[in-house]
Amino acid sequence: MIRSVRRLAVVLGVLMFALLANLTYLQYFAAADMRAQPGNSRVLLEEYSRERGPILLGSTAIASSIPTQDQLKYLRQYSAGPLYAPATGFYSVVYGATGIERTENAVLAGSDDRFFVDRVQQLFAGRGVRGGAVRLTLNPAAQRAAYDGLAGRTGAVVAIDPRTGAILAMVSSPSFDPNKLSGHDAGAIRDAYDAYNSDPAKPMLNRPLAMTLPPGSTFKLVTAAAALETGRYQAITVVPGPASLKLPNTSKELNNWSGTACGPGGKTTFEDALAISCNTAFASIGLDVGADALRTQAEKFGFGTSFEVPLRAAASRFPADPDLPQTAMSAIGQFDVSATALQMAMVGAGIGDNGQVMSPYLVAQTLSPELAVLQNAEPTSFAQAMSPANSATLLAMMVGVVDHGTGSNARISGVSVGGKTGTAQTAPGQAPHAWFVGVAPADRPGSAEVAVAVVLQNGGGAAEVSGNKLAAPIAQAVMRAVLGR
């Protein structure tokens, strides 16, 4: 009988092995699949049982987790909800996370691999896992200036540090309050979400990154850059500037806003054409350099690329294969040209930084729960959009726009400011979009500390002046906030 008992012991051993193998599969290999099951409420409970790390501006938390008494142990709070909503996004039990809350979740939730040592320490210290912190590049004063400037209007502002690509301001108006979507009451969250979603003003749309609109005359900066890069244009080059330009192969005519010629005898200089935003001049320059050169130049500034800042921005667009009239219209930022506020700020930034376009970014630092630096942002060059000499010429031309051209409302006393207004026509009967792209200080090449783009959706009046009247003051306020003037 001893032999058969031994054999049964082996059989029981095999059964035991099967149990252990199955548990190993279940708890190790299949664990990730189980966590991904929609019915698994543990993942959410675990996430909410941890102290999620804050989102910081400097040393101020704009998003932080505070302990509560209910089953979800921490509540996410946004100290200035709508102001920073386009950057922070929300962190919702019902709708998941958006914005930085989503893209930087691994750090904020403490699940990032770099926290392994930290987690082990916390394990032995008997504390729960805490999340790390994320520090943003936003400048609170600039953000506030842009938000206040947009108050009551529909639009977006993006400000960039031309030297690094750091995003200093990123504002959407109207905005939403992420606190209303990040509570613990699922019913209230659904109500708030539905209300925001059905609002025709689309408060949850991330306009600075996601809204592409025709850039209008601000695109003349790209056309000017393309012209300078051909080597055939200088600031004082004489260009045609008639009251109206007959578009090739059509019977249509392109008119200046003023209805008059841009200079005596229907001629003007290149720099004056930019200063007074002469449509006919830039349409003929566009025809002269050609669609391919325009597109190449636009792409060097970032058109056609979907940047991740790390929030994904929409790609701005230059039409693929325009005919001659379309090329002429594209050269002045109409037809199928469309750009985000981020993109137009990058155009300003490139001109302000010796022609070098930096990749935009929003996260300055990631930090451990003890606020030790895990990673600093490393500014990277996206492209050399134009030669430093040409960029210096264009920057000086932009200063002319503000000093004695259409952008007078962007002037800051004691600071040399470069800029370009834009008023983009939309569908007939709708107000045009008012744009302004600014860069300062612009007294010498490479000295710029801020580039800003402002767009007011259907915000302008009927005339070219609306970019200056509506958008330029906001850009000026943002630049002053950054420069501390």
Partner 1 sequence: MSAGILTAPAPVPRYRQPTRRWTEAGLLVAAYAVGAAAYIQVDLAMLGKLATDTVPVLSVIAALLLLVHGAIRLLARWADPILVPAVATLNILGLAMIHRLDLAEIQRANRNGGVAPPPDVYSQLTWTALGIVLFIVVLVAVRDHRTLQRYTYTAMFLGLVLLLLPLAPIVGATVNGATLWVRFGGLSFQPGELAKILLTIFFAGYLTVTRDSLALVRTRVLGVGLPRGRDLGPLFVAWFVSLGVLVFERDLGTSLLFFGLFVALLYVATQRRSWLVLGAVLFITGAVLAYLSFGHVRLRVDVWLHPFADEADTSYQIAQSLYGFASGGMFGSGLGQGYPQLVPYAKSDFIVSAFGEELGLIGLMAMLVLYGVIVERGLRTAIACRDVFGTLLAAGLSISLGLQVFVVVGGVSRLIPLTGLTTPFLAQGGSSLVANWIAIGLLMRISDSARRPDAEAVALEDAPTQVVSL
Q: Which residues bind partner 1 (CB under 8 A)?
A: 1-9, 12-13, 15-16, 18-20, 22-24, 26-28, 30-31, 33-35, 37, 39-43, 45-46, 69-71, 123, 126, 128
The nearest distance, CB 106 to partner 1, in angstroms, is 17
Nearer to partner 1, 119 or 202 (CB): 119
d(CA 438, CA 149): 15
Strand bridging mode 55-57 / 133-136 = parallel
The nearest distance, CB 115 to partner 1, in angstroms, is 15
The nearest distance, CB 29 to partner 1, in angstroms, is 10
The nearest distance, CB 366 to partner 1, in angstroms, is 25
Nearer to partner 1, 45 or 372 (CB): 45
CB-based contact 223:262 (threshold 8 Å): no
Cis check: omega of the bond before 319, within 30 degrees of 0: no
Residue 24: CB atoms within 10 A of its CB come to 11
Please calculate the CA angle 392-394-397 and round it to the nearest 5 degrees.
Answer: 110
Taking Cα atoms as reference points, which of 295, 451, 370, 458 lies closest to residue 117?
A: 370
d(CA 133, CA 138): 15
Please calculate the CA angle 160-80-310 and round it to the nearest 5 degrees.
Answer: 40
3-class DSSP string for the chain: CHHHHHHHHHHHHHHHHHHHHHHHHHHHHCHHHHHHCCCCCHHHHHHHHCECCCEEECCEEEEEEEECCCCCCEEEEECCHHHHHHHHCCEECCCEECHHHHHCHHHHHCCCHHHHHHHHHHHHHCCCCECCEEEECCCHHHHHHHHHHHCCCCEEEEEECCCCCEEEEEEEECCCCHHHHCCCCHHHHHHHHHHHHHCCCCCCCCHHHHCCECCHHHHHHHHHHHHHHHCCCCCCCEEECCCEEECCCCCCEEECCCCCCCCHHHEEEHHHHHHCCCHHHHHHHHHHHCHHHHHHHHHHHCCCCCCECCCECCCCECCCCCCHHHHHHHHCCCCCCEECHHHHHHHHHHHHCCCEEECCECEEEEECCCCCEEEECCCCEEEECCCHHHHHHHHHHHHHHHHHCCCHHHCECCECCEEEEEEECCCCCCCCEEEEEEEECCCCCCCCCEEEEEEECCCCCCCCCHHHHHHHHHHHHHHHHHHCC
Active site residue 217: yes
The nearest distance, CB 32 to partner 1, in angstroms, is 8
Options 217, 330, 416, 466, the catalytic residue: 217
The nearest distance, CB 37 to partner 1, in angstroms, is 6
The nearest distance, CB 18 to partner 1, in angstroms, is 6
Residues classed as catalytic: 217
